[in-house]
Amino acid sequence: MPAAVRGAVRGAVRGAVRGAVKSAKSQLRAPIWHWTGVFLLVLGVAWASIACARDDKNNAAYLAAPRVGDVCTVHEKAGDPNYSLLKVVSTGGNLVDLVANEYQVNNSHPIDDLNAPAKYSKESFSLTLLDLRTMQNKGQITDVDRPGQQGL
């Protein structure tokens, strides 16, 4: 076979192979917009984990140095579906005076439903800072909100 014919055949084969490979690539490769859902999911998970870590850090700081007006979300034991609130009415040294909310709801974020002055008991009781940390470690205090402080 002459060299000119061989070159022409090679060129034709290369062109055909390149066309077939290009066609296969375009059929197999997903467009970039197919991956936007995965990207948004990863972004959402990252945001949620950062927000959770920040909330845990804030809760620990609020319990370490409570202020008048802080509201603690509480429930009796880990399996109990009912939640209520404790409100800080005064602090002094190692003692914190609290008033209990007289109502319970089965919502883990009851502050919107229960945080009204008329719903709190008139009798206060005292707990130490250690008692509050122990309650948090046991899972009895699930959240601490400080009026005027914004989270994420």
Tell me the per-residue pLDDT of 11-51, one tens digit each, with 9 for 90 and over. 666 777 777 777 777 666 667 777 888 899 999 999 999 99
Confidence label for 8 from pLDDT (cuts 50, 70 and 90) = low
Q: Does residue 126 register a pLDDT over 90?
A: yes
* Among 114, 81, 113, residue whose Cα is nearest residue 100: 114
**pLDDT of 110:** 77
How far is residue 85 from each of residues 1, 6, 27, 49, 125, measured CA to CA in Å?
Answer: 93, 88, 59, 25, 14
pTM: 0.67
**pLDDT of 148:** 78
CB 75 within 8 A of CB 107: no
86 Cβ partners below 8 Å, 6+ apart?
A: 71, 72, 74, 98, 99, 100, 101, 141
Q: Does residue 152 register a pLDDT over 50?
A: no
Which position has the higher pLDDT, 108 or 43?
A: 43
Report how far residue 116's alpha carbon sits from residue 150's, in angstroms, rounded to the nearest whole number: 19
**pLDDT of 4:** 59
* Among 98, 82, 102, 78, residue whose Cα is nearest residue 90: 98
Q: What is the pLDDT of residues 64-95, one digit of tens each?
A: 899 999 999 888 776 778 888 999 999 988 99
